[in-house]
């Protein structure tokens, strides 16, 4: 007979102690430092900041260390910590057109003002294990930096001069309307703005980190959700659109990675003040659009903006963003997963998904016992019916 195993406070404390021991590993090996994680595992740090909605490389590195490298657990830690932080203001929209680009490429135009800047990327590596990295004291050769810190125009602005690409809607980030980093959770909600006398526009989208997701969700809210969405889930959806599930063949109009200034308006001073800078990855995709009753044939946009160097996520975000716009563009619904806004947004958050998935390993003794008794009853009834049929 099934007997429930009971655990208590002592068992939980022992589990915590064992976890700490496993996290530390062999004590004969030097402990991994926060600075090492921040500097040498920067792409993992960037993902934790992006999906955790908090730009702080040191805290993200700490979360990765505490989570033993489990990035979703680290993202959970960052989001939980984020809820404890006071909110004292809202930044101005950042200007990605003024970005000092470390990497800037386009698949649509070869010759660009400012040039193609390959930057630090795996794109041109041979994907062979480099055993030199296993040797102690390996020092990489310094890269030759030819990129200028001068801002360079967005590629889509060239198409815009001829009217060949759609304009942005209210509150949306494009080459002509700079990206708004505050939509990743730094902007006040309407209620907060009124209570704290913060500047607030009627077209300011809801803050997904402060207000529950509701449907129908307009594009600014969808972009918020995609910016925080699980990279793997978003990548899978983006891949599905390229394979025909949404007829979404796109070109990367531009992918740029670099630092942008963050400014705040200080009412007492009467002007904005730069309070720091953040590294962002921005992607604009260009999709063909055959036109509609009200719009001429032109190119349409997909958009992605993510903390840090997170280009796989930014490209995926742009593809899924474009796929979800089928209705406003008057396109046919193909029933593709990436076109279903509610399906995408309701399942994209890895913290919600993890919580619901992992809760099934917690005690469900009463639920299981009730189902166990039901199955036994059904089997008894089925057995009785079989005996009766055999007797007849």
Structural domain spans, the chain: 9-82, 96-119+146-354, 362-391
- Asked whether the bond before 216 is cis by omega within 30 degrees of 0, the reply is yes
Distance separating alpha carbons of residues 63 and 377, to the nearest angstrom: 49
pLDDT in tens, 178-197: 333 333 333 333 333 333 33
pLDDT band at residue 347 under the 50/70/90 scheme: very high
Select from 79, 9, 15, 81 the least CA-distant residue to 48.
Answer: 79
Give pTM, 2 decimals.
0.81
Q: Are strands 298-307 and 100-105 parallel, antiparallel or unpaired?
A: unpaired
Q: ∠ at Cα 187 (317, 310), nearest 5°?
A: 30
| DSSP one-letter string for 131-178 | GGGGSTT--PPPPPP---SS----THHHHHHTT-BPPP-TT---SSS-
Check residue 300 and give its pLDDT: 84
What value does the mean pLDDT take over residues 211-240? 91
Residue 47's pLDDT band (cuts 50, 70, 90): very high
Q: How far apart are CA 139 and CA 137, in angstroms?
A: 6
Instruction: Using the predicted structure, report yes or no on whether residue 281 has a pLDDT greater than 60.
Output: yes
Question: Above 90 in pLDDT, residue 240?
Answer: yes
Q: Tell the residue number behind the tokens 């055999």, with chain if given.
A: 390
């Amino acid at each position: 007979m099934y007997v429930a195993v009971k655990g208590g406070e002592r068992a939980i404390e022992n589990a915590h102690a064992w976890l700490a021991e496993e996290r530390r590993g062999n004590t004969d090996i030097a402990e991994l430092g926060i600075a090492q994680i921040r500097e040498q595992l920067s792409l993992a740090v960037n993902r934790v900041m992006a999906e955790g909605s908090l730009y702080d490389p040191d805290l993200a590195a700490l979360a990765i260390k505490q989570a033993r490298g489990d990035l979703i657990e680290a993202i959970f830690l960052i989001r939980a910590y984020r809820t404890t932080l006071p909110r004292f203001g809202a930044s101005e929209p950042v200007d990605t057109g003024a970005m000092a680009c470390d990497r800037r490429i386009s698949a649509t135009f070869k010759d660009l003002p400012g040039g193609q800047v390959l930057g630090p990327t795996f794109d041109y590596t041979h994907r062979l294990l480099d055993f030199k990295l296993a040797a102690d004291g390996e020092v990489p050769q310094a890269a030759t930096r030819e990129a200028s810190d001068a801002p360079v125009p967005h590629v889509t602005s060239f198409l815009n001069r001829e009217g060949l690409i759609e304009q942005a809607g209210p509150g949306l980030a494009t080459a002509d309307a700079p990206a708004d980093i505050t939509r990743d959770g730094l902007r006040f909600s309407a209620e907060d703005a009124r209570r704290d006398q913060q500047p607030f526009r009627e077209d300011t989208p809801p803050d997904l980190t402060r207000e529950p997701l509701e449907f129908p969700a307009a594009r600014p809210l969808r972009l918020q959700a995609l910016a925080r969405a699980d990279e793997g889930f978003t990548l899978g959806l983006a891949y599905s659109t390229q394979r025909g599930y949404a007829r979404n063949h796109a070109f990367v109009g531009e992918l740029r990675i670099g630092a942008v200034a963050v400014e705040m308006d200080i009412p007492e001073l009467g002007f904005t003040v730069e309070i720091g800078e953040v590294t962002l990855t921005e992607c604009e995709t260009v999709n063909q659009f055959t036109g509609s009753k009200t719009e001429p044939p032109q190119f349409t946009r997909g958009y992605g903006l993510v903390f840090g160097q997170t280009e796989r996520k930014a490209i995926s975000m742009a593809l899924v963003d474009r796929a979800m716009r089928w209705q406003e563009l008057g396109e046919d619904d193909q029933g593709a997963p990436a076109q279903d806004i509610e399906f995408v947004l309701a399942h994209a958050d890895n913290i919600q998904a993890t919580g619901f998935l992992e809760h099934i390993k917690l005690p469900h003794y009463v639920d299981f016992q009730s189902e166990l008794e039901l199955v036994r009853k059904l089997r008894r009834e089925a057995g009785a019916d079989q005996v009766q049929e055999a007797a007849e």
